Amino acid sequence: MIAYTMLGSNDLPKAGEFYDALFALLDGKRVRDSEQFIAYANGRDQLYFCVCKPYDGNAATVGNGVMISLVAKNREHVDQLHAKALELGGADEGAPGVRAGGFYAAYFRDLDGNKINFICMD
């Protein structure tokens, strides 16, 4: 059902560097790039993760209650991805661990404050 997700950024070049490095660990790469947005995909799915300058010209802000969840291969991969996000300047929003419902996840905020998590269901 989802075609793409899009998060706002106030510094698109810096956001691009952050997500280039992070998505390399998910076999993702830039598939579209412009002055307005950057789109990433992993080549297996038809889903895109995008970061963009807001089209209305106003500053990007964080959506209260908005979060994007990205699939990791296993628990070790969740740990690796979370550590990389923090190394790249992301802020910790929840260390890797088992969550209610039995899934394993880790949460962080990107350089613009957008909340994202990595999850595996094993």
pLDDT tops 70 at residue 45:
no
Q: How confident is the model at residue 7 (pLDDT cuts 50, 70, 90)?
A: very high
Residue 122: the pLDDT is 80
Percent of the chain with pLDDT over 70: 98
With cut-offs at 50, 70 and 90, classify the pLDDT of residue 44: low
Q: Euclidean distance between the first and final Cα of the chain, in Å?
A: 23
Report the percent of the chain where pLDDT is more than 90: 84
The pLDDT value recorded for residue 115 is 97
For domain 4-54+67-120, give its CATH number from 2.60.120.960, 3.40.50.11540, 3.10.180.10, 3.40.50.410. Answer: 3.10.180.10
Q: Where are the domains of the chain?
A: 4-54+67-120
Whole-angstrom distance, CA of residue 78 vs CA of residue 70: 10
Tokens linked to 113: 């404050």
What confidence score (pLDDT) does residue 52 get? 96
Do the bridges between strand 115-120 and strand 68-71 make them parallel or antiparallel, or are there none, so unpaired? parallel
Instruction: Please report which helix (H) or strand (E) contains residue 7, including its range.
Output: strand 4-8
Residues 68-79 have pLDDT tens digits of 999 999 999 999
Rounded CA-CA distance 80/62 in Å is 25
48 SS3 class: strand
Task: Summarize pLDDT for 80-114 with one digit per residue, the tens.
Answer: 999 999 999 999 999 999 998 889 999 999 999 99
